[in-house]
């Protein structure tokens, strides 16, 4: 068996390490030694949100649903879809939120035309794919922003907007909620201008090579952590209301948004 690894890189502010560690500790306890091979004692906190690949040793991690259908196609199996209590979330759903400075003059998406925009990754659903779709009609087939920069950090982009280094960004609504919880002073210097269409939330996954019996054990343990009263505090630390079976989520919706933006002449966020 591989030397298993576990990580939670999507919502991973340094201030959140205790909450993420508690979630893994709960899941590890629920597995009760049933998984063959040695389970890691701790999460790999250095794993990137957009890694080079979903390696075979990835027993448990969380990966944006958009790259799972593009650059990671065929590399992972879905375990569950989280439901968060953050604003702009629904059962198994999340959205991107356009963030501007609290005192910025913008009152609608259309008023962002000519702004200086930052986004985390060209492979991000909430940072690139969803705002691309939300702006496609407004762009009219041409460039919408005065400038655009890829930064590789959604929390960093919130800070850029808060400090006036960028006019606007779009981030996952859960990321924004965590940022405002843990960094309230900077969060208060920003506000939500608008939300994108909703799509399935960022799923928990395992490597495609994980044996089927292990996948079943992981899913059962994950659902127990999501619903057992003993883990209520663990869930609150991560704003988790529930974890749903993967078959309830329509992840191809994210690719349909991509296709719709291209049809409208806005294949690239610009």
pLDDT tens-digit readout, 104-121? 999 999 999 999 999 999
CA angle 72, 158, 95 (to 5 degrees): 50
Task: Tell me 203's DSSP state.
Answer: P
pLDDT attached to residue 1: 59
Q: What is the pLDDT of residues 50-106, one digit of tens each?
A: 999 999 999 999 999 999 999 999 999 999 999 999 999 999 999 999 999 999 999
Q: What is the pLDDT of residue 33?
A: 77
List helix spans (H) across the chain.
Answer: 17-31, 65-68, 130-139, 154-162, 173-182, 184-187, 212-227, 232-237, 252-263
Confidence of residue 189 (pLDDT cuts 50, 70, 90): very high
Average pLDDT on 206-211 reads: 97
- With a CB cutoff of 8 Å and minimum separation 6, the contacts of 154 are 120, 124, 126, 127, 169, 171, 172, 175
H or E segment and range at residue 233: helix 232-237
Residue 2 pLDDT exceeds 80: no
Q: Which domains does the chain possess?
A: 5-88+200-252 (3.40.190.10), 94-198+255-263 (3.40.190.10)
Per-residue pLDDT, 34 = 81
The mean of the pLDDT values for the chain is 97
């Amino acid at each position: 068996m591989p030397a298993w690894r576990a990580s939670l890189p999507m919502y991973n502010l340094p201030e959140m390490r205790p909450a993420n560690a508690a979630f893994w500790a709960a899941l590890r306890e629920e597995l009760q030694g049933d998984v063959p091979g040695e389970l890691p004692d701790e999460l790999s906190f250095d794993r990137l949100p957009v890694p080079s690949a979903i390696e075979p040793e990835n027993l448990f991690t969380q990966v944006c649903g958009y790259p799972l259908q593009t650059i990671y196609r065929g590399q992972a199996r879905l375990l569950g879809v989280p439901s968060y209590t953050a604003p702009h979330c629904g059962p198994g759903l999340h959205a991107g939120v356009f963030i501007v400075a609290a005192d910025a003059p913008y009152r609608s998406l259309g008023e962002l035309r000519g702004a200086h925009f930052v986004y985390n990754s060209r492979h991000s659903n909430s940072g690139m794919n969803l705002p691309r779709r939300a702006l496609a009609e407004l762009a009219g087939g041409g460039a919408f922003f005065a400038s655009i920069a890829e930064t590789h950090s959604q929390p960093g982009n919130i800070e850029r907007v808060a400090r006036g280094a960028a006019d606007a960004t779009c981030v996952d609504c859960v990321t924004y909620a965590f940022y405002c919880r843990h960094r309230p002073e900077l969060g208060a210097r920003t506000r939500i201008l608008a939300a994108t269409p909703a799509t399935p939330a960022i799923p928990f996954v395992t490597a495609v090579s994980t044996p089927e019996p292990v996948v079943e054990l992981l899913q059962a343990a994950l659902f127990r952590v999501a619903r057992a009263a003993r883990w209520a505090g663990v869930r609150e630390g991560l704003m988790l209301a529930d974890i749903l079976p993967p078959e309830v989520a329509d992840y191809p919706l994210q690719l349909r948004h991509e296709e719709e933006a291209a049809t409208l002449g806005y294949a690239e966020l610009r």
